Amino acid sequence: MKYYIIAGEASGDLHGSNLIKGLKEADPQAQFRFWGGDLMEQAADTKPVKHYKESSIMGYLEVLMNLRKIVGFLRDCQRDVKAWQPDVLILIDYPGFNFKMAKFAKANGIKTFYYIAPKVWAWKEGRVKLIQKYVDELFVIFPFEVDYFRKFSIEAHYFGNPLMDSVSERGEVEKDNIVALVAGSRKHEIDHNLPTMVEISRAFPDYRFVVTAVPWLDKAIYDKYLIGSNVEYICNETYSTIARSRAALVTSGTATLETALLGVPQVVCFRGPAVSMWIAARLVKLKWISLVNLVMNRTVVTELIQSDFTVGKGCDELRAILPGGSKIDKISADYKELYAKIGSAGASQRVAKEMYGQLAKR
């Protein structure tokens, strides 16, 4: 089978790489063409058509300012898919771009699987109609999504969360006296969150603070905030750094769930551009922004969002989750319950097997 996969950001690259490995097991004749990143390249043993770091544009204002570029990416992708004629187009999250590709695929008779459903339960619920109209099979990664989509007569497939695959590969890791600063994967996230994280670090001289840098951002972006501090810069080792840490300050996103599954206590800290956050506050209909709290449907990890993310509150919450802190026992117990909800490792292989089985029926 010929599989064309589109992943538009780092988390999609991770899940896409594990899916490719699973598809290779299920279908020894598998051929791949994709938009993704380094991990997918390693798994598929072929270069991406376009690397996600070239095409990933997030935030309301950022999208508006780059509309011409986004339209160009979309046209390039459509031409490439049509020329290659895959057996299936597999879309990984990245809804703004991927829904347009789903519509294109439908118009051109190409079967479409959506892997890692867009978070329509958080906002833009109207996009459910796009799934109904343009997506042939939907694969979700959170157990509550099955019942959610069933309300709309969509039978979603749930085989566990693929993050468990990445976490289980690491096994038990010995902890160091580290606090990880997971400040995000985009420049505007670093600019808005790292300065406060660095200030918080000054109140804990007995711990090593390490910022988990991403390789697609220039080191200078981090350095201007690290000058005069003892915060260390480590690039492209996010998982291993978090796993060795006693605690972490984490921006919202997939990293919150990854940190929890690695068993590391965390405080979720997020500040963004004022206009983008103002718009989000009026569109997003969630009580929490961290995946940990959303999956558990209650507050497991503290969220310090926008004006709540201050040095004082950050210090108080970090102190509570470090060894001897008042919240350690509770967060440990909650994490165990989270593991049970998420399920066992092997999700990527189970999804791949189902995908191949669906295609082989034709």
Query: For position 121, what pLDDT does the model report?
Result: 78
State the average pLDDT over residues 87-91.
Answer: 98
Lowest mean pLDDT among 165-169, 301-305, 329-333: 165-169
Examine the pLDDT at 312 and tell me if it is beyond 50: yes
- And the tokens for 7? 């992943």
Q: With CA atoms as reference, report the closest residue to 3 among 93, 117, 87.
A: 87
Instruction: Give CA torsion, residues 328, 308, 249, 16, to 10 deg.
Output: 110
How far is it, in rounded angstroms, from Cα 362 to Cα 358? 7
d(CA 217, CA 221): 7
Confidence of residue 170 (pLDDT cuts 50, 70, 90): low
d(CA 212, CA 210) in angstroms, rounded, equals: 6
User: Between the CA atoms of 325, 328, 329 and 332, what dihedral angle is there, to the nearest 10 degrees?
Assistant: -170
Of 30-44, 230-244, 283-297, the one with minimum mean pLDDT is 283-297
pLDDT (mean) for 128-149: 94
Q: Same topology for domains 2-162+346-360 and 168-342, yes or no?
A: yes
Tokens 């299936």 — which residue?
88
Query: Which two structure tokens, joined as six digits, stand for 222?
Result: 């981090």
- Whether residue 12 is predicted with pLDDT greater than 60 in this model: the reply is yes
Mean of pLDDT values over 314-335:
97
Alpha carbons 250 and 200: distance in angstroms, whole number:
13
Domain boundaries, the chain: 2-162+346-360, 168-342
Residue 163's pLDDT band, with cuts at 50, 70 and 90, is confident
Rounded CA-CA distance 55/290 in Å is: 25
Most confident of 72-76, 288-292, 309-313: 309-313
pTM, two decimal places: 0.79
CA 77 to CA 70: how far, in whole Å? 11
Do the Cβ atoms of 215 and 236 come closer than 8 Å?
Answer: yes
Higher model confidence: residue 175 or residue 58? 175
pLDDT value of position 68: 62
Domain 2-162+346-360: give its CATH architecture: 3-Layer(aba) Sandwich (3.40)
Q: Which CATH number fits domain 168-342: 3.40.50.1000, 3.50.50.60, 3.40.50.9100, 3.40.50.2000?
A: 3.40.50.2000
pLDDT in tens, 255-280: 899 999 999 999 999 987 665 555 55
What local confidence, expressed as pLDDT, does residue 60 receive? 47
Decide if pLDDT at 61 tops 50: no
Per-residue burial over 342-359, b = 16 or more CB atoms within 10 Å of its CB, e = otherwise: bbebbbbbbbbbbbbeeb
Residue 245 and residue 264: Cα distance in Å, rounded? 7
Strands 111-115 and 247-250: unpaired
Q: Which amino acid is at 164?
A: M
Q: What is the mean pLDDT of the chain?
A: 89
**Would you state the pLDDT for residue 92?**
95
Provide the pLDDT for residue 274: 63
Would you state the pLDDT for residue 165?
79
Range in 164-178, 229-243, 293-307, 313-327 the model is least confident about: 164-178
As a whole number of angstroms, the distance between CA 270 and CA 222 comes to 17
pLDDT of 286 > 90? The answer is no
Q: Are 290 and 270 in contact (CB under 8 A)?
A: no
Angle (deg, nearest 10), helices 95-107 and 67-84: 40
Which amino acid is present at 134?
Answer: Y
Question: What confidence tens digit (pLDDT) does each residue in 67-85 have?
Answer: 566 677 899 999 999 999 9
Using DSSP's 3-state secondary structure scheme, residue 115 falls into strand
29: Cα within 13 Å, side-chain hemisphere:
5
Handedness of CA 188, 190, 195, 196 (dihedral sign): positive
